[in-house]
Structure formats: structure tokens, C-alpha cells
Structure 1
């Protein structure tokens, strides 16, 4: 969401910012774009609709895979410590409804046991199909050394296990996340209890805080320590969703378009350390998408975790449940993932029981997938950024 919002305002630079042409060119050049369609092959789920060549995002639902990478080299090694290889710390499927009335973000626990299909890589090699932990897919794809190949294997694994067609992807690393949060001036949050996680570099006291980029990353990554939950990845996901919701609130509260220096700083951060599919790497395309979402960005955004249960084969792993199947089916059909509260009937409009229904008119039932047990979906409005 943060990335899309950032790109959505970039085109406005062309109409009122001194030096806009050079700024636009620099921002567009920041994004690393890789088309992975050919590597994914033809045996994929059916997309929601064929894109319009003149406006690829118009009139169709979009499923965007958001991947947080813990690649540990260069600048990222200084942040998280040098570790060989790449892994995905966070993976979220973001669904944007065709009518642009809903944005739903579904986290997939990294410890989920899944079928990982054979994955093609850009160097001509391919992995074998296997059963394994979900975040292994990113690592398997990255054996070529290319982030885009890691994204290919993650996309293929999501599609294999959900039946949901992934239209686009974005990969962001530690450094990019930190820069984006810092460019916003931090994210205000209410911390309910003292938190200490030496491994993640997190030390927070209970109370009101404005998390800078480094602290926000530590807050999102912490699994071990005191006050950070039970140590599981699934428990950590709830904290990550709260942070994302608070970040959405922060973006909504900032009048970035009137503060050109902060706007340029934010956009430069948002477009750096990013690898994305061509559609999301095109600032004009993202401008149209963000413009169509301008009303939604103020409200109907829900964060949730895919329904899961402990894996029968391993108490330290989880598996997706039958309720997850329903969630993914609804996403593919562009139906709401969370049931809306029933409307209070209007007595004046109550139908006459004696009336004969029109047999030619039928309304198929719409069943919303339930949330993960004990973890209701949250929205930006649900997150209190101020204690008390």
C-alpha cells in the first residue's frame, strides 16, 4: 500500500514542481523492473480479465504479491548481519477489487507447509518440485543470485497452493523499508507493553512512540525476547499488520503534495531498493491505479492472515485450512474476503411473504471466508496510534 500510494502521486511532479522532468526521470530510473511472465510459463490460474493495452489496470481486479526480502549483503548486511542467500521475511497477497471499493491484504505465514513447484530461473536452471516451508520458495529461486528469480518461485508457489493468479509483484529489502519509514518522519504507534528483542535490535518501553525506520523494521521482525509474543512467525504477523495499518494512517495524515521537499524525499525512498513487475514499475500505470483508489485509500483496507492450523507432521509448522480454500476462491472471484455486518432491515421495504418470487431471478450466495482463529481482520481505523 505504501509503495502504491507513493508512485500514485509521482506524476503530479510533472505539473507544478520546479525541475519536475529531471525528478520524474530519476524516480522512474530508481525502480528495477523485471518481467517474469516467460519464466512462469503457461500452466497458471486464469487471470481476472485481459488488461487494456491503453490502461492495464482499468476495470479488472488485481492481485499483487508484496514480498519483504531479508537479503543480507551490502547495506542490508549492515542492518541485519551478513548471511548468505536470500529469504522472504514477509509475503502478502494484496487484492484490489475491480470496482476499486476494497483493498484486502492477506499474510501467508512463512512457516506454512506448501507444495513448491519446479521453478525456472533466468540462468537456464530449474529447481525440482518439492514439499517444504513457504519461504523456502524465495530462497530456491534466488540460487541464481537474482531477486526476480526468487520472486518467480514465490509467485509460482502462491499460485500452485491457492489457485489465485498473481498479476504483479514487488520485492523490497531492509534498506528500502527503513528509508520509506524515515522519509515519512516515522510512524506513530501505541506500544502496549515493554518489548525487548536483542536479536532483532528492538528495545521499546510501553507507551506512545514514533517509530523511525530502523525501529519499525525491528518491531516487524522481532520473534524472540520478552514482550514480543510467543516467538512464532504467525504471532509476529499480527504485529506486522498493525504496523502496516499505522503506516497507512500516517500516509493519509500527511499532506505530502504541499510539502515538496518531503514529497521528493518520500518518493525517492519509495522507488529505491525495489524490484517490481513492469506494470508496477511504470509510474504512469501506477498513477492511474492510485487515482482510481483515491476513495479506498481513506477507508476500506483490511489486513488479515490466511486461516491456518498446526501441521500434523510438525508442531513447529502450519498448514492452510479449508477456510483458507474459501478465502482464495473468493479472491479469485473478486468477492469480499470478510463478511459485511448484516444490514438492519427497513420495515417499509420488507417483502410480502405471500408474494411469489420471480423464478427467473436468482442471487447466488456469497460466503466470506472467516478470519484466522483469534486474529480478526484489522483496518487502519482499528489501530490506535495513541495510548489512552
Structure 2
């Protein structure tokens, strides 16, 4: 979102041709349409060939890859293969007034369809854990094939047409956070996760790139939850919302050097679908999103329950069907907010309240947050 909102001024107004070329070369483009088959959900609208995004709701699959080669191995350790433990469906409404981001737990049991790969091989259809789809596609060694299998799996299990995709790795994420000068966020309790390399004390903190990645990845340790993947999803959403707030609070639009530094970081280590990998298309989309209010940027985890066959896995519930149907129909996924009663300044604070409590697991589908309401400052 930060990249889309700021890119338009970087190029349309400054005309920075050298920077344009550099940023365009940062993004790896991948056309996976031929790998997705003909049995896809119905698309909401037919794109305008002169403006692929005009008047059309967009669903973009965002995936964080933990591929562990090169610089990524230095951050997360050298491990073979590719996995995507963080997957979010980003929905942009046709009128560009609303953005909904829905997290899919990696441990969700789903139907994984047969996936074609660019090397000519095809996997067999199977039942399995959601993040297995990315690994199955990646057996060709291509990130784009991994993304295509993940898209096929999302469409198969949700009925939502996925227009575009973006995959970012560890290094790209850390560079983007560092380019912002870190992300201010309220840490509700002390956190220690030696496996993820995370040590944080309760209170207001500004996370650098490496620490932000550890904060998003941590599952085991003290103060990080129950060790499950589903527990850390709410933390990841809080972090992304804080990043949106950070970008909106900085005067990047009038500070060209810092803007270009941020955009260079944001486009590094990214593999994206052909349309999103085109800077002109990205710029057009950025311009259309200029009026999106932070109160209309909603983060949610898809409703789920423990799987009857395995308590360590989850399944999407009937409530999830309603969320996916809303996205497919370009409707809000949360009801209109109730008016908040004003706080009485003369009211006596509750002395028993303790801001440094163990963070609770958000209720999937119900504890949705927005980029406006997420706590950025303790207290």
C-alpha cells in the first residue's frame, strides 16, 4: 500500500528517469496465467485494455517467502526449499475507497488442486496444509510456479478470483522497514524467542528491519503466545498496520531522496505478476488509491476452528464463507463501525488496569483492525 500510494509522485511529477529504470529492474516479473488453467472463479469485471485496473476490484495475493539462499540464509539460516508461511489476500474495492487484507493460516487444511509448473511437470491433486501449495509449486525451483499453485489453491477453496500476486522474501522485508527508519509500535509485554532471534521489553519500541521480521515470525518462547502459527497472525497484522501508519506520518512525498530510498527497498527482492511489475501500471493504481483513508484499510484473519482430524491443524468455518463471498462481490467484510462514546476526561482511571499483560490471541474474523485504530503509542 505504501509503495502504491507514493509511487505516483516519484515518477509522474519528478520525471526521475534513472530512478524509474532502477526500480523497474528491481522487480522480477512473472506471467503465470498459463499455469492457472481454465477452471477459475468468475472475474468481477473485464479489464480495460488501456487501463487494466480502471473501475475494477482487485484481489492481490501477498506472500512472504522464507526461501533461505544468499542474503536470506544469513537472516534465517540455510534451509533448502521454499515455503510461504504468511499469505494475505488483499482486496482493493472497485471505487478504491477500501482495502481489506485477510490472512490465511498456513496450517489450514484445504484441497490443493493439480498444479502445472513451467518445466512441464504437473503435481497431483491432494488434500493438505495450505502452505504446502507454495512448496509443491516450487519443486521446479521457480518462485512464480510456487505463487501459481498458491493462487490455484486460494481460488479452489474460496471462490475468489485472484488478479495479481506479490512474493517478498526476508531480505526485501527488512530493507523496507529500515528504509522507513524503523516502525514504531507498542509492545504489550516482554517477548523472548531465541529461535526467532527476538528480545523485546514491554512499552513503546521502534523496530528495525531484522527485529520487525523476528517479531512477525516468532512462535515459540516467552510472551509470544502459544507457539502456534495462528497466534502470530494478529501480531503480523498489527505490524503491517503500524507500517502503513508510519508511511502516512512521514513526509515522503516531498522528500525525494528518502522516497526513492524507500521505493528502492520496497521493490527489491520482489517477484510480482506482470501487471504489478510494470511501473506505469503501478503508478496508475497508486493514483487511484490516493484517497483511501486509513480507517478503510482493514486487517482480518479468516475465521477458523480446530480440524476434527488433527487438533494441530485448522479448517475454515461457515463464517469464512461469508467473508470470501463479500470479497468476491466487492462488499465490505466488516459491518459499519458503531459510534464511539466520548471519554469523560474527569473519569478516574482504573488502578487495576495493567498495560503490560500477556497479549491475547485475536478472535479470527471478529477482531479486525484498521490502520487507523491499531495502537501505535502505548497508553
Pairwise same-fold verdict (TM > 0.5): yes
Partner of 2:39: 43
1:96-111 to 2 correspondences below 5 Å = 96-111=92-107
Partner of 1:5: 5
Q: Secondary structure at the match of 2:275?
A: helix
Give how far 1:3 is off: 3.9
Tell me, in whole angstroms, the C-alpha distance in 2 between the residues paired with 1:124 and 1:375.
Answer: 43
Runs of 4+ in structure 1 off by over 4 angstroms are 371-375
Tell me, in whole angstroms, the C-alpha distance in 1 between the residues paired with 2:278 and 2:17.
Answer: 15
Q: Deviations over 1:340-365 (max 9, x none)?
A: 1479xxxxxxxxxxxxxxxxxxxxxx
Partner of 1:27: 23
Partner of 2:376: 385
Tell me, in whole angstroms, the C-alpha distance in 2 between the residues paired with 1:109 and 1:9.
Answer: 36
Contact 2:294/2:370 (<8 A) preserved: no
Tell me, in whole angstroms, the C-alpha distance in 2 between the residues paired with 1:299 and 1:283.
Answer: 27
Tell me, in whole angstroms, the C-alpha distance in 2 between the residues paired with 1:105 and 1:207.
Answer: 27
Tell me, in whole angstroms, the C-alpha distance in 1 between the residues paired with 2:177 and 2:232.
Answer: 19
Summarize the Cα distance change of 1:83–1:6 in structure 2 as closer, same or farther, 3 Å threshold: farther
Partner of 1:265: 261
> Does residue 296 of structure 2 align to residue 300 of structure 1?
yes
Q: Deviations over 1:91-123 (max 9, x none)?
A: 000011111121000000000000000000000
Summarize the Cα distance change of 1:272–1:245 in structure 2 as closer, same or farther, 3 Å threshold: same
Q: Deviations over 1:34-92 (max 9, x none)?
A: 11001111110011111101111000100000000000111101100010100002000
Partner of 1:349: none
Partner of 1:197: 193
Tell me, in whole angstroms, the C-alpha distance in 2 between the residues paired with 1:178 and 1:7.
Answer: 20
TM-score normalised by L of structure 2: 0.91
Partner of 2:349: none
Q: How many residues align?
A: 358
Summarize the Cα distance change of 1:99–1:22 in structure 2 as closer, same or farther, 3 Å threshold: same
TM-score normalised by L of structure 1: 0.89
Partner of 1:158: 154
Name which of structure 1's ranges 285-294 and 71-80 shifts more when overlaid on structure 2.
285-294
Unaligned runs of 5+ in 1: 344-370
1:318-337 to 2 correspondences below 5 Å = 318-337=314-333
Summarize the Cα distance change of 1:374–1:61 in structure 2 as closer, same or farther, 3 Å threshold: closer
Partner of 2:183: 187
Partner of 2:14: 16
Give how far 1:208 is off: 1.1
Q: CA RMSD of the aligned region, Å?
A: 1.6
Partner of 1:173: 169
Q: Secondary structure at the match of 2:110?
A: strand
Tell me, in whole angstroms, the C-alpha distance in 2 between the residues paired with 1:9 and 1:197.
Answer: 40
Summarize the Cα distance change of 1:372–1:42 in structure 2 as closer, same or farther, 3 Å threshold: farther
- The structure that has the greater radius of gyration is 1
Give how far 1:382 is off: 1.8
> Does residue 367 of structure 2 align to residue 376 of structure 1?
yes
